[in-house]
Amino acid sequence: MENNKTRFTITVDNDLLKRIDDYRFNNRMPNRTVAVIKLIEMGLEVLEQESKEASE
């Protein structure tokens, strides 16, 4: 089975890592990867919505 996911590395400071971990635990996510993906998706949705509203 082919894996269509790309792995990449990010470096964050301790404060941001704590915020990610807090989000993860508060939302009962199984690991940091799931939490970071969800946070990225939510952030991109906000940016897309703001861009859409600005173009109206």
- Residue 1 confidence (pLDDT): 67
- Residue 25 confidence (pLDDT): 98
pLDDT in tens, the chain (56 residues): 678 999 999 999 999 999 999 999 999 999 999 999 999 999 999 999 999 999 98
Q: 3-state class of 49 per DSSP?
A: helix
Alpha carbons 10 and 27: distance in angstroms, whole number: 22
pTM of the entire structure? 0.85
**Could you identify the residue written with the tokens 């404060």?**
15
Alpha carbons 19 and 13: distance in angstroms, whole number: 10
Q: Where are the domains of the chain?
A: 32-56
